[in-house]
């Protein structure tokens, strides 16, 4: 085996535009999805996490941003899937890529770029990248043999294999992690000198403790680098066995390994090899835990070998199981995102996955849980509060009511709440809780804990319902000016809370948030997160909404849902005690 000396390029430099502060660029990415079968909720979850982060960033005015996604179309897996479907790989990819594009669009994933690895721009980027690796001495040709797992598209060491019997009862080996059968493969391949990168990878991670989140995944990668073998990586396959892929430049007998091909999508999307300097390495990859090693070990090593810096961050999530079981076609329990969005609405399904999905651990999906959560938090608590506080019986002028400081005086210490006003200690707690909400939500988004942000919003919504219920504004006598002032103040505080919730929910439930904010007469330019204030009148500042005519759409914010399989009731007919309008 001839190993040329590896010339490690000079230390990767950060792009000038990527430092902290306003105007900072960021490329957020989803993984590119294998074009061998239709999308399922696991795929959608990866994409929704990235989308919520991208939308949140946009609303903060954080600087130019892109959200890339796409389809991973080469490799043995796709070649075999096409053969099994009796079609050609290009035809299969064309169809499945279309399904992904459609599903992501339907799910309101606001991607700015969609990469297909079969596109010429991507092929050009991969070939250039390969040339840089080769010229830098990072590749050499060698005989490689090992156990190949086609569904995972990688070689696995003995330590990751288990003995099983195949369908015919013959002994075979399978991947410990996924249970997929592996096959002994012996070929002449190009090898990438991954082993040379153990030190540089460790240094990169030690210097960048935020590079991989959540923290348990960061520690896992460090452990791999400290305790496990890091053999060189086979980065091509014999073309005679794998014609469906990008040929190795200047060696048409070999096809570039599908993972090298796929990872380069993050560069081809920003114009590599020409225009990428504007964006790279200001990149943040959202990935599932099954593809962590490819993104946190192979990809940074390949980038370093090509003279580029590793991505800024890798955000990792765990998996969805269905009623405690792994999702699989053979078990027939694959959750179809299209049917789910049809039943629970796009916003409902987005809310469920992002509210219940905890990146650190696997989450279980079952329908009762979806229905219960959405009815409780979106239909009853949030939608109910909007209906009750804007009902004609309680707000006949249909305006954003005014706030009375006499009724709700500003207090330095909430324990003095039984002073001259009508607000009680719990009301002051509500004000403090909602006032701190935008910053807390921002911190949770930054820390990749969107579920915690949503939990915190849901808690505030419950507190606001408590406020409304406690003061029973519908019982106040509007003929009495003092009562009228207090009634208006209760409504003003409630609408202010709702305005904050609507603004903060935009990255997660964009349609419902739009309806909510439109009903509250919040203009499109007033929906950003950077200037979000809550209850300025409490501090003696003017409130631009006070006295405004409310928006005309009085429809339900979110319909109460039935369990799937039960007859669906027209949402307009649905009136629960809290969801229905006040009489």
Stretch that binds ligand MSP, among 8-16, 42-50, 172-180, 508-516 (CB under 6 A): 42-50
CB closer to ligand MSP, 39 vs 348 = 39
Picking from 288, 318, 354, the residue whose alpha carbon sits closest to that of residue 504 is 354
CB of 93 to ligand MSP, least distance (A): 12
CB closer to ligand MSP, 320 vs 445 = 320
Q: For residues 317 and 315, what is the distance between their CA atoms, to the nearest angstrom?
A: 7
Interface of this chain with ligand MSP, residues 300 to 359, rule: CB under 6 A: 319-320, 327
Stretch that binds ligand MSP, among 209-217, 258-266, 426-434, 537-545 (CB under 6 A): 258-266
CB closer to ligand MSP, 316 vs 442 = 316
Q: For residues 558 and 377, what is the distance between their CA atoms, to the nearest angstrom?
A: 10
Whether 363 contacts 350, CB under 8 Å: no
CB closer to ligand MSP, 44 vs 201 = 44
CB closer to ligand MSP, 51 vs 72 = 72
What sign does the dihedral 488-493-496-497 (CA atoms) show? negative
Picking from 115, 75, 9, the residue whose alpha carbon sits closest to that of residue 235 is 75
Torsions phi, psi for 507 (to 5 deg): -70, -20
Torsions phi, psi for 551 (to 5 deg): -65, 155
Rounded to 10 degrees, the C-alpha dihedral 128/132/134/139 comes to: -100
Torsions phi, psi for 172 (to 5 deg): -150, 170
DSSP assignment of 370-419 equals HHHHIIIIIIIIIIHHHHHHH-TTT-TT-B-PPP-TTTS---SSGGGTTS
**Interface with ligand MSP includes 149 (CB under 6 A)?**
no
CB closer to ligand MSP, 261 vs 427 = 261
Q: For residues 475 and 299, what is the distance between their CA atoms, to the nearest angstrom?
A: 64
CB of 561 to ligand MSP, least distance (A): 23
Cβ-closest residue to ligand MSP?
A: 288
**Interface with ligand MSP includes 31 (CB under 6 A)?**
yes
Q: For residues 339 and 107, what is the distance between their CA atoms, to the nearest angstrom?
A: 11
Stretch that binds ligand MSP, among 133-141, 231-239, 257-265, 468-476 (CB under 6 A): 257-265
CA 65 to chain centre: 15
Picking from 88, 52, 53, the residue whose alpha carbon sits closest to that of residue 73 is 88
Beta strands 236-238; 251-256: pairing state: antiparallel
Torsions phi, psi for 78 (to 5 deg): -70, -40
Name which position in 291, 303, 513, 529 contacts ligand MSP (CB under 6 A). Answer: 291
Angle CA(274)–CA(280)–CA(286) in degrees, nearest 5? 130
Q: For residues 514 and 348, what is the distance between their CA atoms, to the nearest angstrom?
A: 14
Name which position in 288, 421, 507, 510 contacts ligand MSP (CB under 6 A). Answer: 288
CB closer to ligand MSP, 41 vs 532 = 41
CB closer to ligand MSP, 291 vs 297 = 291
CB of 288 to ligand MSP, least distance (A): 2
Picking from 71, 81, 80, 123, the residue whose alpha carbon sits closest to that of residue 102 is 71
Whether 389 contacts 487, CB under 8 Å: no
What mask of x and - would describe binding to ligand MSP in positions 177 to 206, judged by CB under 6 A?
Answer: ------------------------------
**Interface with ligand MSP includes 45 (CB under 6 A)?**
yes
Q: Which residues are bridge partners to 53 per DSSP?
A: none
Stretch that binds ligand MSP, among 216-224, 260-268, 395-403, 445-453 (CB under 6 A): 260-268
CB closer to ligand MSP, 265 vs 389 = 265
**Interface with ligand MSP includes 386 (CB under 6 A)?**
no
CB closer to ligand MSP, 287 vs 487 = 287
Stretch that binds ligand MSP, among 126-134, 262-270, 474-482, 526-534 (CB under 6 A): 262-270
Q: For residues 493 and 534, what is the distance between their CA atoms, to the nearest angstrom?
A: 9
Q: Which residue has the tokens 């005014």?
A: 402
Name which position in 290, 367, 446, 562 contacts ligand MSP (CB under 6 A). Answer: 290
**Interface with ligand MSP includes 262 (CB under 6 A)?**
yes
CB of 301 to ligand MSP, least distance (A): 15
HSE-up (13 A, CA, CB side) for residue 97: 20
CB of 417 to ligand MSP, least distance (A): 47
CB of 300 to ligand MSP, least distance (A): 13
Q: Which residues are bridge partners to 251 per DSSP?
A: 248
Stretch that binds ligand MSP, among 28-36, 192-200, 415-423, 435-443 (CB under 6 A): 28-36
CB closer to ligand MSP, 36 vs 465 = 36
Number of residues that bind ligand MSP (CB under 6 A): 19
Interface of this chain with ligand MSP, residues 52 to 81, rule: CB under 6 A: 72
Whether 10 contacts 307, CB under 8 Å: yes
Q: For residues 478 and 475, what is the distance between their CA atoms, to the nearest angstrom?
A: 9
Name which position in 18, 25, 26, 33 contacts ligand MSP (CB under 6 A). Answer: 33
CB of 207 to ligand MSP, least distance (A): 24
CB closer to ligand MSP, 89 vs 559 = 89
**Interface with ligand MSP includes 287 (CB under 6 A)?**
yes
Whether 49 contacts 316, CB under 8 Å: no
Q: Which residues are bridge partners to 314 per DSSP?
A: 212, 285
Structure tokens given for 175: 């991947």
CB closer to ligand MSP, 283 vs 309 = 283
**Interface with ligand MSP includes 283 (CB under 6 A)?**
no
CB closer to ligand MSP, 269 vs 391 = 269
CB closer to ligand MSP, 196 vs 314 = 314
Q: Which residues bind ligand MSP (CB under 6 A)?
A: 31-34, 42-43, 45-46, 72, 262-263, 265, 287-288, 290-291, 319-320, 327
């Amino acid at each position: 085996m001839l190993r040329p000396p590896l010339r490690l390029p000079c230390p990767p430099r950060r792009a000038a535009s990527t430092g902290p502060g306003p105007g900072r660029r960021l490329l957020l990415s989803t993984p590119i999805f294998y074009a061998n079968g239709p999308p399922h909720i696991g795929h959608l979850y990866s994409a929704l996490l990235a989308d919520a982060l991208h939308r949140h960033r946009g609303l903060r005015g954080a600087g130019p941003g892109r959200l890339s996604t796409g389809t991973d179309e080469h490799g043995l897996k796709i070649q075999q899937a096409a053969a099994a479907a009796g079609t050609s790989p290009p035809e299969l990819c064309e169809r499945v890529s279309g399904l992904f594009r459609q599903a992501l669009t339907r799910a309101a994933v606001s991607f700015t770029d969609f990469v297909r690895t079969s596109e010429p721009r991507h092929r050009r980027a991969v070939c250039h990248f390969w040339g840089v690796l080769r010229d830098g001495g990072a590749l050499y040709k060698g005989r490689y043999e090992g156990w190949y797992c086609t569904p995972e598209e990688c070689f696995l060491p003995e330590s990751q294999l288990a003995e099983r019997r195949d369908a015919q009862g013959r002994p075979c080996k399978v991947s410990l992690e996924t249970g997929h059968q592996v096959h002994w493969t012996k070929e002449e391949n190009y090898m990438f000198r991954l082993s040379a990168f153990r030190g540089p990878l460790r240094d990169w991670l030690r210097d960048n403790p935020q590079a991989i989140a959540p923290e348990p995944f960061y520690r896992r990668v460090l452990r791999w680098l400290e305790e496990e073998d890091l053999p060189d990586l086979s980065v091509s396959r014999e073309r005679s066995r794998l014609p469906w892929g990008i040929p190795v430049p200047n060696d048409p007998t070999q096809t570039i390994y599908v993972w090298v091909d796929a990872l380069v999508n993050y560069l081809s999307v920003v114009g590599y090899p020409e225009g990428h300097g504007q964006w790279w390495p200001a990149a943040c990859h959202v990935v599932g835990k099954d593809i962590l090693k490819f993104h946190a070990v192979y990809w940074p090593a390949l980038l370093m070998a090509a003279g580029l810096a590793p991505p800024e961050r890798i955000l990792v999530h765990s998996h969805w199981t269905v009623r405690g079981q792994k999702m699989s076609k053979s078990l027939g329990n694959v959750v179809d995102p299209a049917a789910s969005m049809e039943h629970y609405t796009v916003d409902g399904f987005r809310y469920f996955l992002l509210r219940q999905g905890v990146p650190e651990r696997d989450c279980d999906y079952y329908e009762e849980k979806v229905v219960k959560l959405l009815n409780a938090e979106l239909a009853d608590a949030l939608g109910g509060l909007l209906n009750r506080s804007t009902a004609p019986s309680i707000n006949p002028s249909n305006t954003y009511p005014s706030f009375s400081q006499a009724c709700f005086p500003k207090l330095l210490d909430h324990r003095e709440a039984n002073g001259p006003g009508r607000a009680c200690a719990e009301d002051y707690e509500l004000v403090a809780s909602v006032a701190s909400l935008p910053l807390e939500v921002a911190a949770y988004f930054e820390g990749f804990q969107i579920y915690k942000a949503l939990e915190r919003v849901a808690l505030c919504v419950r507190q606001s319902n408590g406020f409304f219920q406690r003061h029973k504004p519908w019982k106040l006598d509007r003929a009495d000016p003092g009562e009228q002032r207090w009634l208006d103040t209760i409504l003003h505080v409630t609408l202010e809370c709702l305005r904050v919730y609507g603004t903060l929910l935009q990255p997660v439930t964009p349609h419902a948030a739009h309806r909510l904010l439109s009903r509250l007469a919040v203009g499109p330019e007033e929906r950003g997160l950077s200037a979000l204030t809550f209850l300025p009148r409490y501090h003696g500042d003017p409130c631009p909404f006070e006295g405004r005519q409310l928006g005309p759409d009085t429809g339900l914010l979110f319909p109460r849902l039935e369990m799937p399989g039960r007859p669906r009731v027209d949402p307009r007919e649905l009136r629960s005690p809290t969801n229905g309008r006040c009489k």
